[in-house]
Amino acid sequence: MINKIDKNNHNKELNEIDCICEECLKEDESVTQNLILKGFKICNSCSISKTIFPI
């Protein structure tokens, strides 16, 4: 008899703190704030750019 011990270790990595701007891919505290306020994952500097130059 062969007894196989199958260990299924699902070690989920902790989700990274979601504060990375989708535009410049930089990590910034303002991204979290803008995500809550505006619904966009965007930092303040990119937010200003989009306000001036809306795509």
Least distance CB 41 / Zn ion (angstroms): 9
8-37 mask for Zn ion (x: CB under 5 A)? -------------x-xx-------------
State how far the alpha carbon of 21 is from the alpha carbons of 14, 16, 29, 42, 43, in Å: 19, 13, 9, 4, 5
- Rounded least distance, CB 13 to Zn ion, Å: 24
Which residues in the 35-54 window bind Zn ion by CB under 5 A?
A: 43, 46
How far apart (Å, rounded) are the C-alpha atoms in residues 23 and 14? 23
Point out which residues bind Zn ion (CB under 5 A). 21, 23-24, 43, 46
